[in-house]
Chain A
Amino acid sequence: GAGVSQSPSNKVTEKGKDVELRCDPISGHTALYWYRQSLGQGLEFLIYFQGNSAPDKSGLPSDRFSAERTGGSVSTLTIQRTQQEDSAVYLCASSNRDLFRGYTFGSGTRLTVV
């Protein structure tokens, strides 16, 4: 697509439920990144994909967080047994590894755990 698409744009979930956040990167972008931004805070790196593999998942805060990418395209970030501290905006970005010119970000998913 023309840009990075994230869905849903907003998600309200009850504590303890699982959620899935989706990212559809720019067509042809081989690298995909997930970040988390808590209210009024900077960007917290979560995980980086190159193709379908994740060479750097060092930012995932706990084993409740996981992510996968299939077909070198769409990625899903899954949070199990959500907690209130998981409330944040989750941002996805993609880039062209062979011609790196920075990231293109999606508009984010605002997750609220109640």
Chain B
Amino acid sequence: EVQLVASGGGLVQPGRSLRLSCAASGFSFDDYGMHWVRQAPGKGLEWVSGISWNSGSIAYADSVKGRFTMSRDNAKNSLYLQMNSLRAEDTAFYYCAKDKGGEITPQAGGGWFDPWGQGTLVTVSS
């Protein structure tokens, strides 16, 4: 069974940093692209970032570009999101999700989110 377990969320002050992790199991992690999707409490879904199987393609939403860095360690079956210069508007549940194939760009057939992890809550507040 595919399992994705996100961790690392918490309360952080504006301008500070936080690193999220996602532990994957139940599938060949190094064969698949991965994504982070967030959801502010009571709001809709926003794609944040995606990374291809070999980290050759990494993409970001404009709202986080230059502040967030997505990475992966295939040897550890783990995904990361380094979040710097956090803002109040970054407050959300952050979900990791698996793509259907190794690539994450639409041209290469990426852009699916299935399945999703349980989410970890990031609260940015003073």
B is bound to A: no
The interface of chain B, by Cβ under 8 A from chain A, is: none
The interface of chain A, by Cβ under 8 A from chain B, is: none
